[in-house]
Chain A
């Protein structure tokens, strides 16, 4: 299975600032996704990170707030911009590995963000 490294694992940020979260995979993957998990809630899909092109965002999420990059098949970043306390959540990246398409999505360990 894919080994996924997310950085940072946690951070405390001031409101109005931005944080970039990195997701690095140890092998090439076909798909990469970003999820948000608000306190006590389930996972909500933010967007699909597309290699070499703009991400595809789910309803309720916009590029200005959550810009995403995916320059190659193993790396993606999610930026949380102009943060407010409501952005305090765990952010997870998920990947689809060849050989596991439609059978298992692998998750990073998550980035726990607190906005003060």
Chain B
């Protein structure tokens, strides 16, 4: 079993819709989680991190964590074509030593 699992997609949503990206992890002791966005040919850039159960909102982005279910998700509201990228879920092993999932490709079409 992989430490971090993501559906590789592609996930296709229309402009203005909500995109929902999901991630599960295997180590129940994991404490914090990151969502990164990566455009083709670019380095990953942080969207947000989360370590408490529940929701965390930042602008159009909401991260959700359910430690009992070992599940992390990212919601993108009012999706824009510029959101088209690969979204990487990562488990933090401590001090930002990150284990990444396979990434989900998101395509937002006009």
Contact = CB atoms under 8 A, between A and B. Distances in A.
A94 B98 contact: yes
Contacts, number: 56
B95 A42 contact: no
B98 A102 contact: no
A107 B43 contact: yes
Interface stretch (B52-60, B64-72, B99-107): B99-107
Contacts of A102: 32, 49, 51, 92, 94-96
B103 A101 contact: no
A100 B43 CA distance: 18
Interface residues of B, number: 22
Given A43-B88, A107-B44, A31 B97 contact: yes
Interface of A: 30-31, 33, 41-45, 48, 92, 94, 96, 100-105, 107-110
Given A42-B86, A94-B98, A110-B43, 17 more contacts: A31-B96, A31-B97, A33-B96, A33-B97, A33-B98, A42-B102, A43-B44, A43-B88, A43-B98, A45-B99, A101-B95, A102-B51, A102-B96, A103-B96, A105-B34, A105-B98, A107-B44
The 10 closest A-B pairs by CB, nearest first: A105-B96, A96-B96, A107-B43, A42-B103, A43-B100, A42-B100, A31-B95, A42-B102, A104-B46, A96-B95
